[in-house]
Amino acid sequence: MTETSEMNVVDQALAVIDNELLHLAARDMVTASDVTNLLLDLRLLLAPTAAAKSPEPLLA
């Protein structure tokens, strides 16, 4: 994956974090499902980047 597309993924992840922090900061309590949804959104954004960086598994 190129550095430009990696930066795009990071920018998207930061935008999700910033948006959710604004949303959650206005609340007194945060549910576990809200936190889970945020983490799943970030995982969906970052997983393809991490998979592209990992080496091919060795076959036995």
pLDDT tens, position by position, 25-60: 888 888 899 888 888 988 888 887 666 666 666 565
What pLDDT, on the 0 to 100 scale, is given for residue 56?
A: 61
pLDDT for residue 1 is more than 70: no
Whole-number Å distance between alpha carbons of 13 and 27: 22
State residue 29 phi and psi, 5-degree precision.
-130, 150
Half-sphere exposure of 52 (CA within 13 A, CB side): 11
What pLDDT, on the 0 to 100 scale, is given for residue 35?
A: 87
Of residues 37 and 1, the one with the higher pLDDT is 37
Mean pLDDT to the nearest integer, 10-31: 86
Q: Has this prediction a pTM greater than 0.85?
A: no
Task: Give yes or no for a contact between 49 and 6, defined as CB atoms under 8 angstroms apart.
Answer: yes
